[in-house]
Structure 1
Amino acid sequence: MMKRSLAKTVKFMTQKFQAVDFPSYSQVASRSPGNARYLWFGKQVEAGTMQSGREVEVDWSKDEYCNHYMDDQPNMFKDFLEAGNNFSQRKKYILDRPKFVWYWSVHLAHNFLMGVDRLDQPLLEFLQANSEMFDNAFVVLMADHGFRMGTTEFYASEIGNLERHNPALMMSVPKKYRDNGILEVLTNNSQRLQTHYDLRATLLDIAKYQPSSQFTNTTLLKIPGEKGHSLLREQPLTPRNCETLPIIQDYCICKSKSIDMKHDTKLSKRLATALITYVHDRLEELNVTTQCHKYEFDKVTTFNIISLNGAKANYKIVVKTKQPAIFETLVTDNETGKLEFGVIERVDRYGMTTSCTKKTHYTPLCYCKE
């Protein structure tokens, strides 16, 4: 998406700053709040199952990150502040001091596939006008998650299905460090699967560890308490895939063999009906049932078996209801007959149809009655 919509910007960053694109960058949560917590705090807040079958447990419960102050928790902004950044004086005489700037454009491309196109020329001109400054900086151009507001037809396509969980990431290093080895390592790492955890480790590396070596140290670094590895350094030689990295299988962008099972209408309807029941149960747990329509099954639009291990089968299913809402999830049908559902994503353009739950417990699973 970034290469299409920000073509001029990408070309300029590549040619002027020798920026490196990361085509295999994976989100680790569905929505922005979850992905932000991984990047800023390095904490897992969403439980799930990896492709290897290993369970991913949360570091913070919802009660912890919603009802408790985070002031004393380690976070990226605090790390950079302690590294010497101070914005109390906005004069040019502080240009020789380290600075950390974060700009997050929320609405530009959130609801419209082509929305980010509007930024290409202004962003290009901004980078050109300040090219001397950016040539002396680490520059990261990224998204927290892929495009989530597309049509059913868009997600049915191979590229649409990939882009939903494949956010943009592009990074450049200061000109004075481009010949000391870290750019080469950064380029090599761009060809491997990476996550927000690895970008977080990179930012911590820049703030805390690399300055002592003048950004020349490319040896493997395991930062205590962190799940990722710096993109500026060698990473572990173990395979980087959805079986080894902390990526819940729902967000895995690695291609896997799957078999279309829509012809098995009996099985697909059983799982679809169970999914709708599960959604209703979740709405009841959140105490919003009276505000939401009760869903009725319409049809299964996608039904693939993605893995089979003995009597345990994993399926990807997309179900359309009559309201209409469209739900997608991974479901495990094990030998006991018990179904286990993964993260449930609502993939239709739900817009304001969920707004009635904001005062109680916001959830996109709801289709509001009013």
Structure 2
Amino acid sequence: MRRIPTIRSGLLLVSGFSILFFLFWSQIIGFELQVADRGIFDVCPSFEYRYDDPAILMELGHTPRHKECHEIELLTILENGKLRINEKFPDYEKYICGARCAWFLHNYRNRYGDWCTINEHHNCIFPCDVIEVKCMLEGRKEYVFAHTQIYPYSRNRSDVFGSLYKKTLTPAIEKENYFPDVHILLLDSMGLNPVLRQMPETVEFLENQLDAVIFKQYTRTGENSRYNMLAGFFGEIPTAIDRRLYGGGILEPSLDKDLCSDPLDDRNYVQFDYEDAGYKTMYAQDNYLVTFGYLECVGIQNQLATHYMRPHQILGMLEDDMWSKRPVRNHTFVNDYLLKRYLRNASNCQELHTQVLDYMGKFLDSYPGKSKMSITWSSLAHNGEQSIKRADHTIRKFLEKHQDTLDNSFFILMGDHGQRFDTIQKSAQGMYESNNPAMFFSLPRKLRNTTLHEVAKRNSRELLSHHDLYATLIDIVRHQPSANFNDTEFREIQNSHGNSWIRSLDPNLSRGCRNLPISSQYCTCNYGDSIVSRTSPMWRRIYDVLALDMNRNLEAAGLADLCDKIAVMRLSEVHKMGSTGKSSYYRAMFETTSGGVFVVQYEFTAKEELIPYPAEWKRVNAYGTAADCLHSRHLAYKPLCFCKDQAKGNK
């Protein structure tokens, strides 16, 4: 028989609900008071996008199965600094082989040593990291290869750099202090969610074996690799940071020089601090383009690290690698056929990303007892996140092989930015992911489960950027060793626009997009927006000015004679963005008649003026060689430009 509630039990029930309601409402009021006190743009609400969202997985489609490679016997073998002919290679005795050292001369050219014939009668010495091999068969060149090693090397950076040398602020290593290794593996164009989707083996190892901290609110600071890592590795603001959308100001560029024509050797490049402190340093990149010396640009004029794999990239460069039809410093492609048979044969496990990992591994194993710092950069996923899938197992095995070294190191696996041109970039989640590069941060085993580790975990939930990466890397080498890595109090890092994330963050700086050095178009905070109806007058107003403003932008840069006039084919969507002040702000996605798909923000002022804000059009599909007529100093305009000579060819 069902019991009928008494008046007393009813009163208790009402009282219980009243208490729960009071507690709930108190929390709501408390949150609102906090937001009112700090301002919504002083905090960073998360979007909470799922990496395994079914709609995203469907849009990406099935990842093509990569054919397994099989290593073959090579004609030459490098062992303990000596080259020998491999007697297991077919008809090895018929080949006449020579080898020579390849050293860095400048970003797109090598300096070479003398050829030395490889046989039992010659004791060839190769005092270099990269060795070029050429073999003849019956008078024809039939084999080319490039071997790598870590040849012990020391230099005085002041003597090498000359007038471009700038002394760093980092003190020399003191034996009584702890100076752990620092190693960075950068995966170009890989956001956090793409890494979680495509690299489950690697992620599992990072979390469970290296106890890595995942930074979920990590944010890009620039449009491309160069601008992002001028922040992350130099601590610079390469282009103006406009935060007016969220009530902040404009941060002007910090570089007082031309980014293309002036060398960067005298800037605060992070590996210079480590080298000057006494670390051995290494830099390896599997892309023919030099990030800081893009095509015609100077970049760092001298060798940027103690060990530099660049000569290997120049020797292995294929014409197929070119993202541009512009000649690369008069480079000639004379060995493409033989390179594809040996040095660049993916079916034989000779791929660019495996070669830079091999070089990185050799560096990790070198200089026992000496502090080391390395940056290894792979562009395997540049044109699509699914490309990295085939490297997942390879990277996992690499980390396993070198776990002992990594357990005594700070290790970072990161992206410079997310995917810029993948199929999902036209979706809201895709645009978010392009602004949210991966950041996994592992501490040396002796520093895990310490206050320092807990501080890093706490900070990983905050909005952070490449500027904070630079501050952290400088803190590790310049300040923490003297404190035995026990100092977690906030400290301002000189020549940095960020905070070290192994310390408490600046208590006087809110962690939202209003005050941090992040332009509004890269902000990953969920400040809300609403869809603008196609029947709204604002839709038509924006449509009418899109092409006009883009063409004005090209004209102002003096590029109207080179770039075809832009016309809009369709306006896909318009969103009204969460903002502050008297102006309203909108984000529009549209497609041009030349095939470009762009996202741009507009400010609708109190005077009812519609102004591009900032004057930057973010392209979300690839542009290939469409802007090859532009000099590299106009890198920021390449996504917008469709060269007139190509336009004529397509008519």
* TM-score, normalising length: structure 1: 0.92
Distance, in Å, in 2 between the alignment partners of 1:358 and 1:298 is: 27
Question: Structure 1 residue aligned with 2:409, among 137, 144, 155?
Answer: 137
Distance, in Å, in 2 between the alignment partners of 1:91 and 1:176 is: 19
Partners of 1:155 and 1:161 within 8 A in 2: yes
Question: Structure 2 residue aligned with 1:175, among 424, 432, 445?
Answer: 445
Residue 481 of structure 2: aligned partner: 211
Residue 208 of structure 2: aligned partner: 15
1:116 Cα offset (Å): 1.4
Deviations 1:74-127 (A, max 9, x none): 221111111211366979672211110000112x11111311112211101111
Distance, in Å, in 2 between the alignment partners of 1:308 and 1:93 is: 53
Identity in percent: 28
Deviations 1:210-259 (A, max 9, x none): 11122121111111232111111111245311112111110001112111
SS in 1 for 2:280: coil
Deviations 1:296-335 (A, max 9, x none): 2222112011135564111111121222211211110102
Residue 370 of structure 2: aligned partner: 97
Matches within 5 A, 1:1-370: 1-50=194-243, 51-60=245-254, 63-86=257-280, 94-106=367-379, 108-151=380-423, 154-237=424-507, 238-307=509-578, 309=580, 311-341=582-612, 342=614, 343-358=616-631, 361-362=634-635, 363-369=638-644, 370=646
Distance, in Å, in 2 between the alignment partners of 1:360 and 1:232 is: 36
When residues 127 and 77 of structure 1 are mapped into structure 2, their CA distance, relative to the original with a 3 A threshold, is same
SS in 1 for 2:578: strand
Deviates more, 1:124-133 or 1:221-230: 221-230
Deviations 1:58-77 (A, max 9, x none): 23458532232322222211
Instruction: Work out which of the two has the higher radius of gyration on C-alpha atoms and give 1 or 2.
Output: 2
1:11 Cα offset (Å): 0.5
Partners of 2:452 and 2:486 within 8 A in 1: yes
SS in 2 for 1:287: coil
When residues 308 and 213 of structure 1 are mapped into structure 2, their CA distance, relative to the original with a 3 A threshold, is closer
SS in 2 for 1:294: coil
SS in 1 for 2:476: helix
Partners of 1:259 and 1:304 within 8 A in 2: yes
1:162 Cα offset (Å): 1.3
1:29 Cα offset (Å): 0.8
> What 5-or-longer segments of structure 2 have no aligned partner?
1-193, 282-305, 308-362, 647-651
Partners of 1:8 and 1:124 within 8 A in 2: yes
Distance, in Å, in 1 between the alignment partners of 2:411 and 2:272 is: 19
1:157 Cα offset (Å): 2.9
When residues 142 and 353 of structure 1 are mapped into structure 2, their CA distance, relative to the original with a 3 A threshold, is same
SS in 2 for 1:188: helix
Deviations 1:124-154 (A, max 9, x none): 1111111111111000000111110123xx2
> What 5-or-longer segments of structure 1 have no aligned partner?
none
Distance, in Å, in 1 between the alignment partners of 2:366 and 2:451 is: 31
Distance, in Å, in 2 between the alignment partners of 1:118 and 1:92 is: 25
What is the CA RMSD across the aligned residues, in angstroms? Answer: 2.2
Deviates more, 1:176-185 or 1:190-199: 176-185
* TM-score, normalising length: structure 2: 0.54
1:359 Cα offset (Å): 6.7
Distance, in Å, in 2 between the alignment partners of 1:112 and 1:188 is: 32
For this pair of structures, how many residues does the alignment match?
367
SS in 2 for 1:268: helix
When residues 182 and 311 of structure 1 are mapped into structure 2, their CA distance, relative to the original with a 3 A threshold, is closer
